[in-house]
Structures are given as structure tokens and as C-alpha cells.
Amino acid sequence: PQDVYRTLTTRVAVATALPVLAVDYRLAPEHPFPAAVDDAVTALAWLAGHTAHGPSDAAEVVLLGDSAGGGLVYALLVKLTMIAQGHVQDA
């Protein structure tokens, strides 16, 4: 991710006393929809298997996005809901 978010992610980590994973995702127009959503699904799946204490079921994950990242968080939640309901296959 761009260093412009370092201050924000550091403040979130300090305020919550939780680790923060900042995800860099592919941008349009070079990578059209749903590339960024697929990247977010991949990042969340990676996170589920790579916590500080080993693999996790990711039951307690906080998703946060700024500007377009907020829209990406929403799109990720929609995609995960659709996957859980069997409407689409996992990315």
C-alpha cells in the first residue's frame, strides 16, 4: 500500500491494540471489476491462515476502508455473502 496510509493504519493499530493488515489491490481501469474484490477475497483468505497464533477461522476480523477502500469493503462483504449462500463460487 502507499505510504499515505501508514499514519492511518498505525493509529488504528494503536487505538485498537490489534494488528493491521493493509492490502494493496489492483486498480481500474488497468484491472477492471471485479479484480479489486477478488484481491480482497484473496487477502482475507490469506489472513485466515496466517495469524500471529497460527491458522484462524477469521471469526473476529475488522474490515476498514477509506474512500474507494470503503466501497471495496462493502463489495467484499457482498461477495462473501453470495459465496456463503452458494450464489457464486469462491474467487
What does the pLDDT read at residue 2?
A: 60
| Side-chain-facing half-sphere of 23: CA atoms under 13 Å | 25
**Rounded average pLDDT over 75-80:** 95
What DSSP line would sit under 2-70, residue for residue?
A: -GGGHHHHHHHHHHHTS---------TTTS-TTHHHHHHHHHHHHHHH-BTTB----TT------THHH
Task: Tell me the residue type at 82.
Answer: M
Q: What is the pLDDT of residues 55-77, one digit of tens each?
A: 665 567 889 998 999 999 999 99
- What is the value of pTM for the model shown? 0.80
User: Predicted confidence band at 46 (pLDDT cuts at 50, 70, 90)?
Assistant: confident
Q: Are 42 and 91 in contact, with CB atoms under 8 Å apart?
A: yes
